Structure 1
């Protein structure tokens, strides 16, 4: 399974340079590390998935000495590893460029990891279930729904989200963090098992 994770990294080795360069530009523009962490982690994860969804890649994967459970597990394990790597790059870059006193803010890091895990929990099972052309349609529908929401239903959605993030970062109750972490982990594991079930039933 380690080789499957390394495969995803090697395939994107040239893209990683672009990621780092654009992260630096965003940090210089003082873009939120939380936003960057979630965005780049999800993009990296989905790019790794999409390479396996092209042509006969899945047929090749299933001809290798890996079970389908291992193939799926490499994506979920890799998602966490990629997220930690992206977080390290962002916060190290933020410290070097902007000279912030605290390199690692644990509440922000916890929020990034949680948001990526929740997003991945929904995206990966859908990605395993439907073909790429269907995913494009689903993505288009979600973008349309988002645009309708911010223009008609909740014009101040961005302000609401920023306030939610501020409130989360200001929380002092350990119990609330425990409940949030436990819920996220259960969701992630449930998604993991669901993706394995979906992938094992697919015919290539």
Structure 2
């Protein structure tokens, strides 16, 4: 399992200096939230891992090794959390060394970053296992166009249906709100993992 996660790091070793360069440059730009920087770099790293697996037919190699498909899927989901933690650590350490920004990345920012990444990956991971990269790009462009034209209608329906839910969430104490949100994200992440595992087990290479 550890070797599968380490593989995703080694396969992008040439891109790691680019990530570090982007992080350093963003330290000099005012108005760039560190949690957003951690989100973007982590998501890019994780999505590139999928890209290289498909580009170099690594999935075929992995399935010839003594790893079960369940272990391969689990390594992606656990690896996403490991990579996020590493990027957060690098950003916090770099911010402290360069600008003394140790207090600008609070524990709330860390929770927000992990929560956003887990929620985002819960949605897109099953699609990565189901479809090829070129189909995902076409689908993303179509979805973007539809979202632009349907934005007002969706937001109107969303506001009408979920206004009471938002009011209820806003009334919760902070600890209960974070606990509720964490539970929802964990359930979503777990459901996504089970779905991805089901899709991958049936996939033919």
**Displacement after TM superposition at 1:94 (Å):** 1.9
Matches within 5 A, 1:91-102: 91-102=92-103
Partner of 2:11: 11
SS in 2 for 1:63: coil
TM, length-normalised to structure 2? 0.84
Partner of 1:118: 119
Whether the 8 Å CA contact 1:87–1:109 is kept in 2: the answer is yes
**Displacement after TM superposition at 1:22 (Å):** 0.7
Count of residues in Structure 1 that have an aligned counterpart in Structure 2:
189
Whether the 8 Å CA contact 2:39–2:113 is kept in 1: the answer is yes
Whether the 8 Å CA contact 2:92–2:101 is kept in 1: the answer is no
SS in 2 for 1:12: coil
Which segment is superposed worse, 172-181 or 61-70?
A: 172-181
Matches within 5 A, 1:7-86: 7-30=7-30, 31-86=32-87
SS in 1 for 2:14: helix
Partner of 1:105: 106
Whether the 8 Å CA contact 2:35–2:105 is kept in 1: the answer is no
- Change in 2 beyond 3 A, CA 1:47/1:180: same
- Change in 2 beyond 3 A, CA 1:150/1:90: farther
Whether the 8 Å CA contact 1:28–1:97 is kept in 2: the answer is no
Partner of 2:196: 195
CA RMSD, 1 decimal: 2.2
Q: Distance in 2 between matches of 1:112 and 1:81?
A: 13
Q: Distance in 2 between matches of 1:100 and 1:75?
A: 31
**Displacement after TM superposition at 1:173 (Å):** 1.4
Q: Distance in 2 between matches of 1:185 and 1:144?
A: 30
- Change in 2 beyond 3 A, CA 1:146/1:37: farther
**Displacement after TM superposition at 1:172 (Å):** 5.9
TM, length-normalised to structure 1? 0.85
Q: Which sections of structure 2, spanning at least 5 residues, go unmatched?
A: 156-168
